[in-house]
Each structure stands twice: as C-alpha cells, then as structure tokens.
Structure 1
C-alpha cells in the first residue's frame, strides 16, 4: 500500500469557523476511510496579533512546530505551505484570496466565495493565470449524505426532479442579538444579511440537485425572481429573502424544473432531535427526497416513494470516537465526544485535487461557483441591496 501524501495547510484567520475546520483537519483521515492523503497545519495567521495566532495553534492541537504570524502577508510568504484555508468574513474573501493567489498559493476559501460574481471571476482568472488550485469551501457538497442524494437523482429513482424546496434560516431576534449593528450578519461593511451567509446553503441544495446533476453540455442557468426584505435598523442588509428559480431543460430530460430557495434571520424551518420537519424537499414524479435540518450539516434523509416505500437513513459524522477526548463544534454548540464536525470532507477533496493536479473541486467547479454568485447578484439587484464600493470592487489591493 502506498504511503499517504501529507498536505501542508496554512490557516488565514483565527475565528470560530477556522477553529472548527482546523480541529477537523487534524483528525486522522483513516477514521473516515480515507487512506491516500493526510493533513497537517504548518502555519496560521491572525490579522490582529502573532500571539492570537499562537493561541489558536495551541487551542486547535496543531503541531508544536507550526508557525504563528501576525499578518496575512507573512503567511503567504511561507514556503512550507501547500494550500491556504481562508476563514475571514466573505466581505474580505476577494482581497484575501487574491493575496494568496498572487503569492502562488493554492486556496480553499470559505463561502460565500466573494461578495459578487465579478470578484469570483477575477479570482478564477488569477488562479488559471498562476496554474493554482482554487475552490469554494461549500463543505455540505462533500458530505457522503450529499453524494447519496445526488446519486438517487442521477439513478432516476424518483424520476426527473421537477421541484425543489430549500430553506436555511435562523429564528432569532436580530435587534437583540446584533444590537450594535456591527455583527457580520447585519453589518453592511461585512456584506451582512441572510442571503450571502445563510441563503448560500439554500442555493447549494437547489444547484446540487437541479443543476449539478444534469449533463455539463446541456445544463443551463436558471431564470430568477426574488423578493427581499431589508433589515430595518440598517436598511443595508437583507433580513428575509425568497428566490424562485426556473431551470430550462429539454422535454426528454423532464422539461422546465422549479425551485424555491428561502432564507431569513427571523423565521426558520425549526427542527428537533427527531428531525420530523424536512428543510429540503426534492420532488420527482416517482417520489421525493427529504433532507432534515440543519441544511448546512444534515445527518438524516428520507426517501418517500409514490408506491409507499419509505427509506430513512442516518448519517452520523465520523471522528476519533468515544473515549478519545476529541471535541468539536461551532457557535457554542458541541458535538458528542469523538464526533467530527464534517469539515474534513472538503479538506480531503482539496488535498486530493492538489495531489492529482486538478485545479478545482469535483462537486462544485469554479464555473458553478460563479453562476451561483451571478444568481445572488440578480437577487440583490431585484431587492436593491448594494454594499459599500470598497467590498464590491475588484480592485486589488484595496484597504478594508
């Protein structure tokens, strides 16, 4: 058996999502049946201080010889890094990713990829110019659960998909939770609002079921009609957004297909441990596939067939297991001991692509990332949502 290839990661930013990703990254891949690659962290950078980066490396259990940097400019100059994971707010992704690509570094960048499609196109062009790997870190696409759902569709089990409902929302009081208006969820300087932060997952489910499953040479962009409710205190972020998408298809492929994608800060598809309310429903003439919340990290699917057949599947996240003292989670919530969060799947894909010499992800290429950004551009246009020029611009470098 060949020796697994070790991919050396640099972590750009040290917030909550970076901690979750890095802890998952350092879990032994064989615990999820992956044997051809391994991961290690060789450096991390905080824009605030070197000491914060040092603490981050300790908190995540990174190797003791990993380097800590107090600026992103220092990080991208580290010659030991194979790929950089970008974990800043999406308002900063374009500038940060361009910095990395300009320095010759492969990039895995958190979602939403950028603030607009022009920025994503510019990054894709830069990656092509530099012959580098670039991928949007839409982790949900790489779950075995998602691969299973797409397989059900392409196998024809429910017939051609005719309609998809997808919601990813949070039921909260934003005026209380984000009272100072500075939080990334509502702050226009951070491209705040439901669409880019939450709605990307609703669109992920729509696209990976109604677009990605179609043959590359025949699939077409959807038409979009959207309604956007502004967040009152700022009037510069969306509180609730609803999108209706129609995907053209040939009559032989089932004809035009429809999707409704929803997202909100205030109202949501609520879920409990029994998971009885599906947040995603993928419907065909022979049956439907239900995916239970949360949309970004689902662990339960149900296939309901027209003939009465019901197939429930549960998809627990792998990890070191009970007794390992390994704990991970996000946003203050902890997973059971020994259970990973699920971010290692996208890391495995990025590492595999780099080993194989591929320049983009297998389950969402750059063209599809750009198309989804174009859809969100159109949604914002219809809703009149514009962010400050400094975070919409493609000019690099721009001081944020």
Structure 2
C-alpha cells in the first residue's frame, strides 16, 4: 500500500500581498487578523463597524490605518483590495452584496449565507461584475485536506463507501447569544454542522439524498442534528453536529481498500492516518505549521493568490460547492423544522 502524499499547499508567507478591509470586528475577525499578522505578509488597512469606537479599537489593535463607523465607508475605501465579511450569518448576504456592488472582491465567513438562494444571488453578482468571491471555509484550504484529496484521487483506500464526521462544542445555552437567535440565523447547523456537511461534500461530491433528525431549542433553532447523506455512487455520509457539548470532532473516510482518519478537530490543522483494509496503520501525516486558528492564514493566502491571478473563484473550493453545501443545509433545516425570520 502506498504512503500518503505530501501536501502541495504553498507557504502563506509567499502569497501576494493584498490590502484587507475587515467588515464586522468580532471574535472570528480577531482570530483571522491575528493569523494574518503572525503567518502572512497580508496588510490589514481598514476596519468597518456600526460602532466607530469599536472600529477604532480594532484598527489600533491590528495596525490598520483607517476605521469607519459604517460598512459603506469601508467597502468604498480605495485603499482596500479585498473585504473580509465576519458578521453573523444573517448579515452575510447583505454585506457581501454591499462590497461586491462597490467593486470589491470578498472573502465571506462560513456559513456563506442563510440559504442557497442568497448564496446564488451573490455568486451571480460576483460573476456579472467579474469579482473574486470565496467562502471562508478555512478547512478546505488547509494542507491536510490536500493530503486527503490527493489520497482519494490516487485511490489509496479504494472505492469510498462511508464518510463519518462530527463537530460538537458547548455553545448553548451559555454561549454566544447569536447562536440562540433565529433572527441571527443561530443554531448548531450553520455554525458547527457546516463543517461535517462541507467535508462530506468534499469527499462525496453532490448528495442525491439527505435525511436528518435533531432537536430544537425553545426559540426554534437547532441544538443538535444527526444527518445521513448519499451520493450517486451509493456511498454514505454519517454526520453529526451539536452545540450542547464537546464531541470527539473526528472524521473518517472508509473505502474498499483502506481508511483515512482525521484527528479532532478534523476541520483544523491536524493529523491524517492511513490504514489498510484490516485497520493496520500504514502512514501518518501531521500538520504542525499553522496549528489551531493560525490555520486561518491559509484561506487568506489562497484568496490573495486568486486575486493576483485574476480569478473569480478558488479552484480549491469552487462556488458551486459553496452553493451545494448551502442547499444541503436548507434541506436539513426543512426536515428539522428550522426557519429563519425574513427568509
């Protein structure tokens, strides 16, 4: 049995330098900007918030020259090459559209939008304006995902039969208020379940069937869900997400000739182990560089490379995959009975 391939992921420090505007300076934006400062040559030049004081404080923290008390001012700053949208899911569509209409390429935090219709609208606008648009699903740009992708393409584990992926964190009822709010597109699925669903799409491609069961909070958002999917070849995905407690967060891809295991959390920098069909360990890849949220630098580097090359989407995570994932989560929410106000 062959060994695991080496990752082909370029060093984020080598990516072309772009000037970033940060839209909505919250927790994920802080992690993103920290990763940029520590592991890339990217420049953070402007910050936009509904609160000018908040924008100024964040700009001071990360050395940005400009701070704005409105998103419109941020996206119209001529010094900004690309906008990173880091607001709650409920705001992604409107704010990414604002940036695109201003002629700015956009990196939008996952989940990309509330639903597939909003995602399709952004994709159509970006294509019409010939602007780069990328979902910030950081896992898809990490080196260990490239290892997995090559291993599958090379047939190292034979024909894929089953994918397992899980993601649970203790984020309810004592976590961020947005996760409990239907108005902010809260719940486990868009925040946590998007990782297993996107991973299954990465491995299996389009789903031909989806079945979901779960539990809802008293406000009507999902607290956890168990999901099964299939693809056209008949391979299965067994997926789980929960905001009620910590789960293993691991993933496995099983095939007729072997198995790939990803350590928890599978969606962050971690190890990949190749097993033969009897379960014996054959090889291991360990991603050390960019551990933890420092791995967010890879998505920024990919966006910068795409922008410098004149691309309108990333080959590592094409826009049709983003829309497919959103459509799958629409179906999951429909089966669970979760609907967001204003949809």
TM-score, normalised to structure 1, is 0.79
Q: What corresponds to 1:33 in structure 2?
A: none
Distance in 1 separating the partners of 2:257 and 2:66: 55
Contact 2:56-2:67 at 8 Å conserved across structures: yes
**Large movers: runs of 4+ above 4 Å:** none
Among 33, 37, 44, the alignment partner of 1:22 is 33
Q: What corresponds to 1:190 in structure 2?
A: 184
1:361 is aligned to 2:332: no
Contact 1:9-1:83 at 8 Å conserved across structures: yes
Q: What corresponds to 2:79 in structure 1?
A: 80
Distance in 2 separating the partners of 1:311 and 1:222: 33
Unaligned stretches of 5+ residues in structure 2 = 1-13
1:279 is aligned to 2:278: no
Distance in 1 separating the partners of 2:208 and 2:113: 20
Q: What corresponds to 1:253 in structure 2?
A: none
Query: By percentage of residues, which structure has more helix?
Result: 2
Aligned-residue offset at 1:292:
1.2
Q: Secondary structure at the match of 1:166?
A: strand
Contact 1:291-1:298 at 8 Å conserved across structures: no
Q: Secondary structure at the match of 2:38?
A: coil
Contact 2:36-2:297 at 8 Å conserved across structures: yes
Larger radius of gyration: 1
Contact 1:349-1:362 at 8 Å conserved across structures: no
- C-alpha spacing 1:353/1:376, structure 2 compared with 1 (3 Å): same
Distance in 1 separating the partners of 2:31 and 2:322: 23
Distance in 2 separating the partners of 1:318 and 1:242: 31
Unaligned stretches of 5+ residues in structure 1 = 30-37, 212-219, 250-255, 271-277, 320-334, 393-400
- C-alpha spacing 1:197/1:58, structure 2 compared with 1 (3 Å): same
Q: What corresponds to 1:128 in structure 2?
A: 127
Give per-residue Cα distances to partners, 1:23-62, cap 9 Å, x unaligned. Answer: 2112353xxxxxxxx411111111122x2212112223x2
Q: Secondary structure at the match of 2:18?
A: strand
Aligned-residue offset at 1:131:
1.0
Correspondences of 1:318-333 after superposition (within 5 Å): 318=290
Distance in 1 separating the partners of 2:285 and 2:229: 28
Correspondences of 1:59-78 after superposition (within 5 Å): 59-60=61-62, 62-63=63-64, 66-78=65-77
Q: What corresponds to 2:8 in structure 1?
A: none
Correspondences of 1:73-222 after superposition (within 5 Å): 73-171=72-170, 174-175=172-173, 177-178=174-175, 183-211=177-205, 220-222=206-208
Distance in 2 separating the partners of 1:317 and 1:89: 29
1:313 is aligned to 2:285: yes
Distance in 2 separating the partners of 1:222 and 1:359: 28
Q: Greater relative contact order (Cα 8 A, min sep 6): structure 1 or 2?
A: 2
Q: What corresponds to 2:243 in structure 1?
A: 265
- Provide the aligned length of Structure 1 versus Structure 2: 329
Q: What corresponds to 2:294 in structure 1?
A: 341
Distance in 2 separating the partners of 1:298 and 1:136: 18
TM-score, normalised to structure 2, is 0.91
Give per-residue Cα distances to partners, 1:331-368, cap 9 Å, x unaligned. Answer: xxxx6xxxx61111000110111111110112111111
1:11 is aligned to 2:11: no
